[in-house]
Every structure is written in C-alpha cells, then in structure tokens.
Amino acid sequence: MKILQDQTKFTLDNPINQEFFPESSLFFDIETTGFSPSHTYVYLIGCAARHGSTIDLTQFFAENPQEEEQILSAFLQLLSKYKSLVSYNGMGFDVRYLKERCALYGLAESLDKLQHLDIYRKLSKFQSILNLQNLKQKSLEKFLDIDREDKYSGGDLIDVYLEYISHPSEKGLSLLLLHNYEDILGMTMLLPLLSYSRMFEGDFEVISHETNVHETFDHQQNEELILTLSPKFSLPKRFSYGSGQIVLTGFHQQAKLKISIYQGELKHFYPNYKDYYYFPSEDRAIHKSVAAYADRAFRKKAKATTCYMKKSGHYLPQYQEIISPCFKQEYQDRITWFDITEEFLSSPELLKKYAAHILKWLSSSKKESSQIK
C-alpha cells in the first residue's frame, strides 16, 4: 500500500467555504475497478481535510488487489477523527460501495452515522437553471473556469490500473493518482456553487420591489413585478433562467425575480358551496343567509364549480395557496392567484415568503404554466 500526502492553500475569503468546509469535515473520493462492489474492488481512496487555510490531501493506493483491505482500514482510521463527510455523488455510489467492501473484510465502519454533504445532490436541481450540459464534476468545474491537467474519466483508468498491476510504472501511477487528486481538490473548489442552493433554500433578503411595463416577444405590453434579492452568499457566475411568466437572473450579491402580472377578472371560490345559492343572471354565489329571501326562480343550489364571486384586479401566480384570498380562472385550475395589495407590497415578510415560494417552484422538477388563457 502506498500513502501519498500533499498540501495546498485554501481560500477563506468566501464565507461559504468556511461554512461547508469546517475542520471537522473530510472530503473523500474513491476509484474502483467497476460499479458493482460484489465483483469489483476499490484501489484508491483520496481524502482532503482543512487545517486553517491549508488543505491536507491524503491518498491511499492499493498496488494490487490484496491491499484493498489495507487501504480501507487506513481510510477508516483517518475518518474516525472527523464528524462529517463531503463527497460528489458519494451518497449515490461511494458510501454504498465502501460499506459492502468493508463488510466483506469484517471491518467495522460508521459511514451511515456521520453527517454527509453530497455536493451532487445539493446541485442536482439546478442543471437547467444554470444552463449546465450535465452534472458531471468536470462540467461544474468548467462552469467555474477551473482548469484540470487530468484528461481521463474513472472508467478510462480501470484499464490503466489493471495494466499497472501487471507492469508497475511511474507513468501509470501518476495518471491514477492525478485523476483522484484533482477530483478531491476540485470538489473543494466547487463549494461556491452551493451559494445557489442556499439562495433557493431561503438564504436571502428582499431589498426592493417595483413594477415595470415591458414589451413581450409578440409586441404586447405586459406589467411585471420585480423583486430584488440579496443572497447571503455571493453567486459566483452570472445566470439567467425563465419558466413561463417568471424570469430569474443573478450574479454576485444580487438576484432579480421578474413575475408577470395578470390584470383582469378572476374568481374566488368559496369552500363550503352547500351554504350558497348561485345566481346565473349575476354570475355569482351568495350565502344562504342572504339569498334565502330571493325569488327561487333566480337562484340555484350552488355547486363547487359555481360557488364563487368575481373580482377585477392585478394578480400574481402562486403554486401553493400561501397568500389568501386565492383566485382562479376556473374551479379545476391548480394554479391560484392573489390580488396585489398594499399590505402585500409593504410587508417584507410577505415579499420574502412569496419570493421563497417562487424559487422553490423554479427548482422543482414539475412546473405548470401560470399563463391565463
């Protein structure tokens, strides 16, 4: 077994680096001869720990299959000093793989008991928002303009390792170690990307709001609400994303949400329709306590679909009923709307609640159009 160690500098200027890379965390990445832990084995485990502004990198390398148990034991011994793990898709692959290989040798491990930050899982919702081609680690590094010397994938290096077992060489060893080394170091350099996930999780303040009239692509005049957000952590790369009637842009310490306003008439549906009569001539429902005195010829028992009152106003969409009263175009509509009131615009709490709701919807996998037809 070879144990290789190195040190490099780590910038603490970005607060998000300090938050997600405390000295109690250990970054790790494994290299294996295949995907199935039942039929393949791990030959390299790389780790990174922080001490002040220095990163200590350690690699445990098995020069042959018989040394797998040794590198697993060495990794577990190092891991015992830390409270949490950081990985890239480690929860999807690395942890499960290590647990099965440790079980094979009867090695006691506590991988499931540690806190685990999986950078891949944290960023998996934002591929389209950040306009990423895919979510491979190298693609995210390219997004952040991080250069690599390594040009291989983990799969490419399996044959290199098998050749190394038969014919050890410095060139083969260098290729194997470099890939793992840059995976580990690259992971620490991806931490600024977590500023996006933190903003979408609600770590921001609404610092201003305004309404604006703009011209749409089909030359229509459209009114929109613009919310200016201040994220807790600086957004490292400029991005712009649109979905339906909503556009989100951001860079550094500012993001802007632009939400189209619907101006017109919508319906508020009363929940307890059995307590109402519907008046076709007026196209509205009136509570029985009042409508009971009206001529029966002009009223009908209300149904869920006819138990409403109409109101003209300026409306914003919502994808859960977070602000009341709610309005719809038709009863079966899943998207609701709320009237833009002075109370809403003057309340920092409501503005943030609504902005957080929109961000959550933008990062969800299923989105519905909020356009009224």
Q: What pTM does this model have? A: 0.90
Question: How does residue 293 score in pLDDT terms, banded at 50, 70 and 90?
Answer: confident
At 369 the pLDDT is: 66
Helix %, strand %, coil % of the chain (to 5): 35, 35, 35
Give the whole-angstrom CA distance, residue 214 versus residue 218. 11
Q: Is the N-terminal amide bond of 325 cis, ω within 30° of 0?
A: yes
How confident is the model over 158-167, as a mean pLDDT? Answer: 95
Q: Which of 197, 215, 244 is at the close of a domain? A: 197
**What's the pLDDT tens digit per position in 304-343?**
999 999 999 999 999 999 999 999 999 999 999 999 999 9
At 52 the pLDDT is: 94
pLDDT at 155 over 60: yes
Cα–Cα distances in angstroms (integers) from residue 138 to residues 133, 134, 238, in the given order? 11, 9, 19
Please indicate, yes or no, whether residues 83 and 218 belong to a single structural domain of this protein.
no
Please indicate, yes or no, whether residues 73 and 193 belong to a single structural domain of this protein.
yes
Q: Which domain holds residue 183?
A: 2-197
Please indicate, yes or no, whether residues 85 and 100 belong to a single structural domain of this protein.
yes
* Residues 72, 98 contacting (CB under 8 angstroms): yes
Please indicate, yes or no, whether residues 354 and 221 belong to a single structural domain of this protein.
yes
pLDDT at 30 over 80: yes
Please indicate, yes or no, whether residues 248 and 111 belong to a single structural domain of this protein.
no
Residue among 220, 214, 297 nearest 258 (CA): 214
Q: Which of 197, 224, 240 is at the close of a domain? A: 197
Give the whole-angstrom CA distance, residue 187 versus residue 27. 8
Give the whole-angstrom CA distance, residue 355 versus residue 259. 10
Please indicate, yes or no, whether residues 221 and 77 belong to a single structural domain of this protein.
no
How confident is the model over 122-147, as a mean pLDDT? Answer: 95
Residue 290 domain flag: no
Please indicate, yes or no, whether residues 220 and 187 belong to a single structural domain of this protein.
no
How confident is the model over 4-32, as a mean pLDDT? Answer: 95
Encoding tokens for residue 283? 């196209």
Please indicate, yes or no, whether residues 249 and 116 belong to a single structural domain of this protein.
no
Give the whole-angstrom CA distance, residue 55 versus residue 48. 6
The three-class DSSP label of residue 241 is strand
Give the whole-angstrom CA distance, residue 327 versus residue 325. 7
Q: Which of 135, 170, 197 is at the close of a domain? A: 197
Please indicate, yes or no, whether residues 241 and 168 belong to a single structural domain of this protein.
no
Structurally, the chain folds into a number of domains equal to 2
**What's the pLDDT tens digit per position in 71-125?**
999 999 999 999 999 999 999 999 999 999 999 999 999 999 999 999 999 999 9
User: What phi, psi does 338 have (nearest 5°)?
Assistant: -135, 150
Question: How does residue 216 score in pLDDT terms, banded at 50, 70 and 90?
Answer: low
Residue 299 domain flag: no
Percent share of the chain, pLDDT over 70: 96
Residue 280 domain flag: no
Please indicate, yes or no, whether residues 266 and 355 belong to a single structural domain of this protein.
yes
Residue 75 domain flag: yes
